[in-house]
Structure 1
Amino acid sequence: MTPSRRSAPVPETVLEFPDNRLLITLCGEYDRNLVKIEQDTGVNIRRRGNQLTVLGEPDGREQAAGILRAAYARLEEGRDVSAGDLDGMLRLGPGTAPADQMEMFSGEGFELRTRKKPVAPRTAAQKAYVANLFRHELNFGIGPAGTGKTYLAVAAGVTMLIGGQVERIILSRPAVEAGERLGFLPGDMKEKVDPYMQPLYDALNDFLPSKQVEKLMLDKRIEIAPLAFMRGRTLSNAFVVLDEAQNATTMQMKMFLTRLGEGSRMVITGDRTQIDLPRGVQSGLRDAERILDGVKGISFNYFTASDVVRHPLVARIIEAYDRDDEQHAG
């Protein structure tokens, strides 16, 4: 009689969590957090009492266990663990704790701590981008929508304003979408351009209480204005962001870049695939990339679909369009 083979035991890592209430939160509604970690690391997670058993290959187990420990530690500190927080830990590598994300620039003053919440980069490209926002006086963030270019820039501006490194924040966009229709919109000039500035208002309200935003705007410590309003000004001791820069002409871009004054930092964000300028008009963002490449004190930061931090479907949509563009270009 042939002896039966005993299957090799499945490698496992057992984690114990003393607070069952926090463990329930860690697992998420219908264990959705565990499912997310399983899908991204290729492991299986079994829950029994106050223990989680992680089964799978060593690398996946190590990553999943590190994320579970880090997320639990975050809950012990009284902080939430959102789907975005888990996504950030998964993207940034094995065992990256939320605390590590906030201290990733330890000793260099790169934490993004706003009045409402701390903000941490969720991808390697975002991490490098945030670091450059503090290291360089002029930064470009170039890539598709949803990669955090403007969001992180505004968060950095708020952090510097709170910390006293700058005296004011200036946020600007080209009002290209308005075109000739701008004059037909109701209200005064502010009411006409506000719809085009709304994404900048949204970002600010994520980091500062609405009443504080209103007061800072009344005191002119925060300004939100169309690109055309920047002409003739020198922007000193300010954190300046030009959003949707792909819709600035070459002349507008040069005008804006030369507004940089003493004690200021400037961030230019844009997506080269979403140029709304009239046919035949060159994008100032494209020209700036070519002309300023290699200039000391200027950083260029590039994002791809893998850096999208909105709904996962957004990244897949961008990738599909990129593939289509490549096929037609070929």
Structure 2
Amino acid sequence: MAIGALTPPPPSENPAESLVEFPDNRLLIDLCGEYDRNLAEIEQKLGVQILRRGNLLAIHGEEAAQKEAVEVLGALYQRLESGRDVGQGDIDREIRMGGGETETGTRDGDQLEMFRGGPVEIKTRKKLVEPRTEAQKAYVLNLFQNEMAFGIGPAGTGKTYLAVAVGVSMFIGGHVDKIILSRPAVEAGEKLGYLPGDMKEKVDPYMQPLYDALNDFLPGKQLAKLMEEKRIEIAPLAFMRGRTLSNAFVVLDEAQNATTMQMKMFLTRLGEGSRMVITGDRTQIDLPRGMHSGLADAERLLSGIDRISFNYFSASDVVRHPLVAAIIRAYDADMEKS
């Protein structure tokens, strides 16, 4: 099989191998990675062996695994041809997504036109963000398409990260005037006591994951200026009461720790021209015993309403360290037994 060339590779004498030809040797070097670490990553994840022969790669292994490796290598090479880099996250995404993007179909809104027939990408000031699983891809499309979207699933599945990335993309594209990020200031099992400092210093430790996400997408000086101008706000959920949030991209993180009344209060802040994203993990509720999570009520009451989407993630969508997925599966299995 030839990638990006009209001349097919020489036929393999070994039926247990697939040959793939790459015409640009410089791109092939980038595809293989330093010390062939990209090839090693594909070998480890797909259970194949990849040997380099000039501008050919010979893939050994089971037939299905060979085919998948060819598709992944082809998608990564096309990525390099388009001028983009290839990193470990890109390899992981192509393996999870089956070696490439498919037609995304017809969607409303001019900001969705960029996805038509091409990869789903979120452009921010500092980086290009791409979904790494099918569930993440569906989630991102719903974030652009719907005025209210829920992302529910375990830690490490990119729920908040992708939501903030879409918010930044819509902000720099002029689709919203501000970004508002919020989460309940609830302690995760331990008592932190009275924190020192002013109000901002007291609540900042709870908001740190949101700061981390923003710092990934916006240059430090620009982020500081936008926060000073109140065009980007990070505030505890309690501070949302009494506000009408118009022309804003609003994210509520850790929504499983919002009470029923807090959730209703937050959802009814939605103003003209705004988008809301609510993310949470039903297995990590830190509310006091006997207090009901508002996220569960929102699922039950709102799932049939048009323009409100619900996306669900599982351990297979975890994009942190592979051990995180194994840990989540272990806890899920234990909960099913009890």
TM-score (ref. length: structure 1): 0.89
Please, which of 123, 132, 141 is the counterpart of residue 122 of structure 1?
Answer: 132
Aligned-pair CA distance for 1:81: 1.1
Q: Would the aligned equivalents of 2:103 and 2:118 in 1 still touch at CA under 8 Å?
A: no
Q: Would the aligned equivalents of 1:66 and 1:97 in 2 still touch at CA under 8 Å?
A: no
Q: Which sits farther off after the overlay, 161-170 or 57-66?
A: 57-66
Aligned-pair CA distance for 1:104: 8.2
Task: Say whether residues 1:229 and 2:229 are aligned partners.
Answer: no
Q: Would the aligned equivalents of 1:149 and 1:269 in 2 still touch at CA under 8 Å?
A: yes
Amino acid at match of 1:74: R
Task: Say whether residues 1:186 and 2:191 are aligned partners.
Answer: no
Aligned-pair CA distance for 1:35: 2.4
Query: Which residue of 1 is the match for residue 52 of structure 2?
Result: 47
Provide the C-alpha distance between the structure 1 equivalents of 2:197 and 2:103, rounded to a whole number of angstroms: 47
Query: Which residue of 1 is the match for residue 206 of structure 2?
Result: 196
Task: Say whether residues 1:213 and 2:200 are aligned partners.
Answer: no
Aligned-pair CA distance for 1:108: 10
What's the CA shift string for 1:276-298, capped at 9, x where partnerless?
Answer: 00000001111111121212221
Provide the C-alpha distance between the structure 2 equivalents of 1:66 and 1:107, rounded to a whole number of angstroms: 18
Task: Say whether residues 1:135 and 2:140 are aligned partners.
Answer: no
Q: Would the aligned equivalents of 2:188 and 2:286 in 1 still touch at CA under 8 Å?
A: no
Query: Which residue of 2 is the match for residue 3 of structure 1?
Result: none
Amino acid at match of 1:123: T
Please, which of 184, 187, 198 is the counterpart of residue 174 of structure 1?
Answer: 184
The total of aligned residue pairs comes to 319
Q: Would the aligned equivalents of 1:85 and 1:98 in 2 still touch at CA under 8 Å?
A: no
Query: Which residue of 1 is the match for residue 8 of structure 2?
Result: none
Provide the C-alpha distance between the structure 1 equivalents of 2:21 and 2:118, rounded to a whole number of angstroms: 35
Task: Say whether residues 1:82 and 2:87 are aligned partners.
Answer: yes
Amino acid at match of 2:56: Q
What's the CA shift string for 1:215-263, capped at 9, x where partnerless?
Answer: 1111111000000000000000000000000000111000000000000
Please, which of 86, 90, 97 is the counterpart of residue 92 of structure 1?
Answer: 97
Task: Say whether residues 1:277 and 2:274 are aligned partners.
Answer: no
| Structure 1 spans left out of the alignment, 5+ residues | 1-7
Provide the C-alpha distance between the structure 1 equivalents of 2:245 and 2:118, rounded to a whole number of angstroms: 25
Please, which of 159, 164, 174 is the counterpart of residue 154 of structure 1?
Answer: 164
Amino acid at match of 2:100: T
Where 2:261 maps in the other structure, the secondary structure is helix
Query: Which residue of 1 is the match for residue 76 of structure 2?
Result: 71
Task: Say whether residues 1:60 and 2:65 are aligned partners.
Answer: yes
Please, which of 318, 321, 328 is the counterpart of residue 308 of structure 1?
Answer: 318
Aligned-pair CA distance for 1:76: 3.8
Amino acid at match of 1:206: D
Aligned-pair CA distance for 1:103: 8.8
| Structure 2 spans left out of the alignment, 5+ residues | 1-12, 105-111
Aligned-pair CA distance for 1:110: 6.3
Provide the C-alpha distance between the structure 2 equivalents of 1:114 and 1:237, rounded to a whole number of angstroms: 19
Provide the C-alpha distance between the structure 2 equivalents of 1:215 and 1:68, rounded to a whole number of angstroms: 42
Q: Which sits farther off after the overlay, 44-53 or 126-135?
A: 44-53
Q: Would the aligned equivalents of 1:41 and 1:60 in 2 still touch at CA under 8 Å?
A: yes
Aligned-pair CA distance for 1:180: 11
Where 2:115 maps in the other structure, the secondary structure is coil
Provide the C-alpha distance between the structure 2 equivalents of 1:34 and 1:64, rounded to a whole number of angstroms: 10
Aligned-pair CA distance for 1:154: 0.4
Where 2:182 maps in the other structure, the secondary structure is strand
Aligned-pair CA distance for 1:181: 6.4
Where 1:184 maps in the other structure, the secondary structure is coil
Aligned-pair CA distance for 1:82: 1.2
TM-score (ref. length: structure 2): 0.87
Provide the C-alpha distance between the structure 2 equivalents of 1:34 and 1:152, rounded to a whole number of angstroms: 28
Aligned-pair CA distance for 1:70: 2.3
Provide the C-alpha distance between the structure 2 equivalents of 1:151 and 1:51, rounded to a whole number of angstroms: 38
Query: Which residue of 1 is the match for residue 22 of structure 2?
Result: 17
What's the CA shift string for 1:37-74, capped at 9, x where partnerless?
Answer: 22333432111222211234443333212221222232
Q: Would the aligned equivalents of 1:71 and 1:98 in 2 still touch at CA under 8 Å?
A: no
Provide the C-alpha distance between the structure 2 equivalents of 1:262 and 1:103, rounded to a whole number of angstroms: 23
Q: Would the aligned equivalents of 1:15 and 1:65 in 2 still touch at CA under 8 Å?
A: yes
Amino acid at match of 1:274: Q
What's the CA shift string for 1:161-217, capped at 9, x where partnerless?
Answer: 011111000000000118996772121100111111110011111111111111111
Provide the C-alpha distance between the structure 1 equivalents of 2:87 and 2:56, rounded to a whole number of angstroms: 21
- CA distance 1:103–1:27, shift in 2 (3 Å): farther
- CA distance 1:147–1:104, shift in 2 (3 Å): farther
